Amino acid sequence: MIKMIENTKINKMQLYILTVVTGTGSSMLYGIGEKAKQDAWIVVILAMLGGMVLILLYCWLLKLFPDATLFHMFENTFNKYIAKVISFLYVLYFAIIASHVIGDITTLTSLYILSETPEIVIEIIITLVAMYGVFLGIETFARFGILVFIFIVPLVFFFFIGPILSNRANFQQLLPVLENGWLPIIKETFPIIFTNPFGEIVVFLMIIPYVTNNKKVLHIGILSMLSIGVLFLIITITNIITIGPTFIEISLYPTIETVRGINILNFIQKVEGTAVFLFLILNYMKIMLLLFAASTGANILFNTKNYRKYIIPISVIVFVLSHLSIQDVVLHFFIDTKIVPYAIGIPFDLGFILLLLGVYYIKKLFKLKIKQ
């Protein structure tokens, strides 16, 4: 039994919401599979299947290490020094992903809502609000997540039904299917299938000990993956039929461009500001969860009693990384979509997980041989 970091609990509904928020967030802005053009929806389905594989791996670990966070799993499997090095790298991983999410919503907010406000001011506000949420604890921001979920789900579906009601949808843009064969789809699927957005739910392994009756969470994980996949499928198809695959490929934020064209009876229009606010709230939840994971991870790494002492220093690092990343919006987008999935996503979402499982079973095999 792993000793709890603090005596707080969340229920399975809250776990589901936190997992879905982590798997969506800023990825909804960019979409996935744009190089596959009108076949991008196939990329989404394949990526969702990859996400299912990740959930099975993560739940396999939870069965081997009941009530353990990812960092406790490393401590129980590797020697002291290797475990600390890997754990430290994961603290950095959570911080880097949080910094990129802050960068995403800072750029978005600056472009569409607060164009006259210096980006650094927006970053400071986002970071401070997220810090405050993490200080309150996972139980508090998980409850906030339920409230957000109730209001956001209808809004999300409106944003993607709106273009159809506005007579802007052209379903012919989904055709022809597999015009260029499977190669573009395969190129777009890997490494996305195991990284962004589905791979980032590795943070799932940092909050499981806080879940009441956490022995059976596989169905929550599968349901979360299905929800994320369906949401991305709706977004992808709506973007294709509304603005077309060519415009998606050259657009910085195709989802916002889709929403921007909503005009129902010349009455409901110019709703992109509401859409940006929606993405802001979703990503705020994601940032809080990542900061929480980094802070609790540092608490375990340094064997201290209170994760809150790490919130401020980690938040400062996240803020600095975020500010550096948005100095060039195009470069930020390139790093987010072309470098992070390969250089960070594959090792941390999948690589170390497979290494952990491999070492665990090798050690178990050696113990059996020694007994014989």
Q: Which two tokens stand for residue 359?
A: 């070492």
Average the pLDDT over 60-74 and give the result. Answer: 91
The segment with the largest mean pLDDT, out of 172-181, 207-216, 268-277, is 172-181
pLDDT of 120-141, one tens digit each? 999 999 999 999 999 998 888 8
pLDDT at 334 > cutoff 80: no
Average the pLDDT over 22-27 and give the result. Answer: 75
pLDDT of residue 166: 84
Residue 2 belongs to some domain of the structure: no
Residue 158: closest CA among 262, 23, 229, 279: 262
Q: State the alpha helices, DSSP H only, in the chain.
A: 12-23, 27-30, 40-64, 70-77, 80-112, 119-136, 138-165, 183-189, 204-207, 218-250, 254-260, 272-301, 311-325, 329-334, 352-371
pLDDT of residue 193: 67
Q: What range defines the domain where residue 223 resides?
A: 12-371
Residue 6 belongs to some domain of the structure: no
pLDDT of residue 252: 79
Residue 1 belongs to some domain of the structure: no
Alpha carbon of residue 67 to chain centroid: 23
Residue 319 belongs to some domain of the structure: yes
Average the pLDDT over 45-62 and give the result. Answer: 89
pLDDT of residue 372: 65
pLDDT at 259 > cutoff 60: yes
Q: Which two tokens stand for residue 318?
A: 């996240």
pLDDT-based confidence at 313, cuts 50/70/90? very high
Residue 5 or residue 156, greater confidence: 156
Burial 179-194 (b: 16+ CB within 10 A, else e): eeeeebbeebbbbbbb
Residue 260 belongs to some domain of the structure: yes
Residue 4 belongs to some domain of the structure: no
C-alpha span between 96 and 6 (Å, rounded) = 25
pLDDT at 197 > cutoff 90: no
CATH number of the domain that residue 290 is part of: 1.20.1740.10
pLDDT at 3 > cutoff 70: no
Percent of the chain with pLDDT over 70: 96
Of 109-113, 211-215, 230-234, 308-312, the range with the lowest mean pLDDT is 211-215
Residue 176 belongs to some domain of the structure: yes
Q: Radius of gyration over alpha carbons of the chain, in Å?
A: 21
* Residue pair 30/105 in contact by the 8 Å Cβ criterion: no
Q: Is the bond leading into 176 cis (omega within 30 degrees of zero)?
A: yes
Mean pLDDT for the chain? 86
pLDDT of residue 6: 57
pLDDT of residue 1: 41
pLDDT of residue 121: 93
* Residue pair 105/130 in contact by the 8 Å Cβ criterion: no
pLDDT-based confidence at 309, cuts 50/70/90? very high
Residue 318 or residue 253, greater confidence: 318
Q: How many CB atoms lie within 10 A of CB 245?
A: 20
Residue 177 belongs to some domain of the structure: yes
pLDDT at 315 > cutoff 90: yes
Of 45-54, 327-336, 344-353, the range with the lowest mean pLDDT is 327-336
Average the pLDDT over 195-206 and give the result. Answer: 80
pLDDT of residue 338: 73
pLDDT-based confidence at 24, cuts 50/70/90? confident
C-alpha span between 211 and 63 (Å, rounded) = 14
pTM: 0.91
How many residues does this entry show for the chain?
Answer: 372
Tell me how many domains the chain contains.
1
pLDDT of 261-281, one tens digit each? 787 777 777 787 888 888 888
